[in-house]
Structure 1
């Protein structure tokens, strides 16, 4: 019989649930214990008064709850709840629990192309790299299983994102039903929370000759097949959910966009929607040419029923003030993808302006337009881009720049709001799923005397990454070092709904 609870003890760091306008968030730092029900993977309570470094304090706490420490193979007494204890970090390793990252925009099928963009801009890159890669995910015979390449790529992208602490991802797949279903099945099997969407694209004016939906009705009917598969796979939507995915306006006819809008709204609750908007200036001009009767890019989606409170708009680099107002009015959400925007030369997204407008924002890696599957990397790039935006402002106040804390807010709380799960993930409140990562920065650097400074040590030490802690830093400074220098080597373990889904070996 499995234990009733898992008791985690150590330091827990998170961002506040809400940030008032004109206020920058501070880290919430607590040391103590937090326990998770193994029945549903949700946080059942916490107590920050328990000193986790004192074994007797832990023993007294467990006894006060009437629990028995679980032993494998040993049945507990009838009526006695059991608990397994997990220590948050090894002694002296500067470990802490942090909410799992939420990637609000990632193309799973494009992962093999990560870092391969040369000097391409968006539209050229799509034709040269993206469409050929995605096309290869088609079954050899219509209706057959996904090809081996799809298994290889999708398994790898799930492993890689989990290793970087991503507990939730909003995935674009391809136009192929079998491969898209495979991605959903693998996420469910591996334990990663995911929104999985079959890409829809039927406009032959822009789509490749051999990679597109045959007609607008196929965009809708094939998407419905995927939706039905995912609903059978996870009937309650606890881990994997479908998301309607028109690639972006230039690849879709007006009929396809409208049909997908109606499809999303036909469910209760309405399905989530994900697409791209105003990523590149040439793309914006193309939309104006293809949809000349529409006032703007955002209006195309609004007129076809795709601009809703459950819509995720990736990029939004070049929105007009009128479009920003419309996005806010419809309560649609934005995925900021700074690494991709810089890599493809798409532009600098004015995130502070979007935030001031009251628009909900999360972070996306946009692999493979983005070169890294790490939301931590997206966080630092968001900070850097905001500094460039500030440097170009006519009046520089410094307010345009994002703080480390704000970037981490977007990576967790903001992302949770974008995927409409703010009450369920993104923090450590009671009743939330325990979606978390255990971070270790490594031991403090040992002091070296002047006499021994010439000694050279080769090998034999654990690779704890690029973060050097000297022992005098406070937690805010340690977190800043992690954001600017950390990587997957600092991710010791990852849980989704209390299930261990990634563990880094010693």
Structure 2
């Protein structure tokens, strides 16, 4: 296993070409719509020095013809571009977008025992997050988290950090240095009723002051928020006073920053919200009445929403981060993605580490497909049962274009179109040639001279359609299939 961040490039955009321009050749796959994947074979995609797609040719009948035609159209000389070509069995796919994860909880991945949400916070989460005030420890944790998610093809992540300003700023610094597009949230939690004495903001005023400090830091290191952006992060309603939530809403209005929080993850949590906010009509109403339910709000989980809450969320155009792995791991429930879509709510995927046990959005996509089948099994026979199941195409949409809509970057990332950023991964699937045998790691020669190309758990025999190859990758793929990763044109991960 090799995890690496690419060697520092000679230019900020990550290209070594004289003009920073790059050309990508081969097969490109992306979501054309929620229901359809588009396959561009023998195609060429040109990426300029800003990391933006400058041109695409997919209709010239061959890679060489596409390359020459595109270079002529753009006026680029072949010697002035870096060329990246697919090898057999490889294709380019948009980078994954993780709409909900806790970088501070990464060391606890897989450690959730038999607890449910509130007990898990007290036993595992709060002690770990509080310990990251030690910046050496925070650097170790955050570096591992960012590198691991990049290795799984995650080019954009909406991160929760901790309440500590210096540790949160460090996460922003690391994402910028390692090249991952990221939304960085200092966690706001000032409620003495829920938050432990050793880990909470001292007051609403202190919570807002600290938040403004992290915003100022991120604006200093990335003034246009091109790679890292602040995101306002009230942990969830029970952890925040009304005063701090209203203060965050005011910052949102003044600076037009995105928001992220949790909603309706667990039955006990919902009852706690009702007890703490008896004047509110619902969990969603708590956020709405405090000014936090907006078109730039990401709501994680949304498992147990009522019809009325869904209508309110759709009216406010807030988005949902679906976290199927953690919802199952800590026995929270099964979110109904088709139901959310039918209400007009945009949905993306989240790993939700460490409630979730995997850093992979590909894993989250397969879990989303499986959870949708569990939802279907409760509906009995008929059209509703079949319709609730999510297809391969739909969960890969959630992982890319759906996530882009959730984080507000649908015109910049999530697909391959002129004007969009080159946030992409090179995926390679293993080929099994006739007469081959598998003996050890990597490609092995057989007595007959045939070869087995290692592609992790994905074996392609050659007769599969491209739709079938994508299904195999979805359900059997892992980071071994992610060969290279680019963000804004910069190579940020390469698997040796």
Same fold (TM over 0.5): yes
Q: How does 1:264-413 map to 2 (within 5 A)?
A: 264-267=252-255, 270-394=256-380, 396-397=382-383, 398-413=386-401
Q: How does 1:33-112 map to 2 (within 5 A)?
A: 33-38=44-49, 40-54=50-64, 58-59=67-68, 62=71, 65-70=74-79, 82-88=80-86, 90=87, 92=88, 94-112=89-107
Contact residue 319 and residue 347 of structure 2 kept, 8 A:
yes
Question: What SS does structure 2 have at the residue aligned with 1:390?
Answer: helix
Contact residue 181 and residue 226 of structure 1 kept, 8 A:
yes
Question: What SS does structure 1 have at the residue aligned with 2:46?
Answer: strand
1:134 corresponds, among 129, 143, 158, to 129
Change in Cα spacing, 1:240 to 1:338, as seen in structure 2 (3 Å) is same
Contact residue 51 and residue 58 of structure 1 kept, 8 A:
no
Aligned-pair Cα RMSD in Å: 1.6
Change in Cα spacing, 1:41 to 1:296, as seen in structure 2 (3 Å) is same
Deviation at 1:351, TM superposition (A): 1.0
Change in Cα spacing, 1:490 to 1:288, as seen in structure 2 (3 Å) is same
State the match for 1:471 in structure 2: 462
Contact residue 26 and residue 44 of structure 2 kept, 8 A:
yes
Change in Cα spacing, 1:456 to 1:410, as seen in structure 2 (3 Å) is closer
Corresponding residue pairs, total: 468
State the match for 1:74 in structure 2: none
Tell me, in whole angstroms, the C-alpha distance in 1 between the residues paired with 2:295 and 2:75. 44
State the match for 1:119 in structure 2: 114
Deviation at 1:442, TM superposition (A): 2.0
- Unmatched 5+ residue regions in structure 1? 20-24, 71-81, 140-146
State the match for 2:433 in structure 1: 446
- Unmatched 5+ residue regions in structure 2? 1-16, 444-452
1:26 corresponds, among 36, 53, 69, to 36
Question: What SS does structure 2 have at the residue aligned with 1:266?
Answer: helix
Tell me, in whole angstroms, the C-alpha distance in 2 between the residues paired with 1:194 and 1:475. 31
Contact residue 95 and residue 438 of structure 1 kept, 8 A:
yes
List per-residue Cα deviations over 1:204-253 (Å, max 9, x = no partner): 11111200000111111100000011111111111110000000011111
Deviation at 1:264, TM superposition (A): 1.3
List per-residue Cα deviations over 1:255-294 (Å, max 9, x = no partner): 1111111111111xx1100000000000000000000110
State the match for 1:173 in structure 2: 161
Change in Cα spacing, 1:61 to 1:315, as seen in structure 2 (3 Å) is closer
Deviation at 1:2, TM superposition (A): 2.6
Tell me, in whole angstroms, the C-alpha distance in 1 between the residues paired with 2:269 and 2:441. 51
Deviation at 1:394, TM superposition (A): 4.7
Tell me, in whole angstroms, the C-alpha distance in 2 between the residues paired with 1:428 and 1:459. 33
Change in Cα spacing, 1:386 to 1:160, as seen in structure 2 (3 Å) is same
1:502 corresponds, among 481, 493, 496, to 493
Tell me, in whole angstroms, the C-alpha distance in 2 between the residues paired with 1:58 and 1:207. 58
Tell me, in whole angstroms, the C-alpha distance in 2 between the residues paired with 1:435 and 1:459. 30
Question: What SS does structure 2 have at the residue aligned with 1:399?
Answer: helix
Tell me, in whole angstroms, the C-alpha distance in 1 between the residues paired with 2:146 and 2:304. 31
Tell me, in whole angstroms, the C-alpha distance in 1 between the residues paired with 2:476 and 2:249. 42
**Superposed structure 1 runs of 4+ greater than 6 Å apart:** none
Tell me, in whole angstroms, the C-alpha distance in 2 between the residues paired with 1:156 and 1:457. 31
Quick check: 1:189 aligned with 2:177? yes
List per-residue Cα deviations over 1:6-29 (Å, max 9, x = no partner): 11010000002x54xxxxx11100
2:237 corresponds, among 234, 241, 249, to 249
Deviation at 1:460, TM superposition (A): 5.5
Contact residue 33 and residue 52 of structure 1 kept, 8 A:
no
Contact residue 46 and residue 70 of structure 2 kept, 8 A:
no
Change in Cα spacing, 1:63 to 1:112, as seen in structure 2 (3 Å) is same
Tell me, in whole angstroms, the C-alpha distance in 1 between the residues paired with 2:438 and 2:173. 50
Question: What SS does structure 2 have at the residue aligned with 1:194?
Answer: strand
State the match for 1:76 in structure 2: none
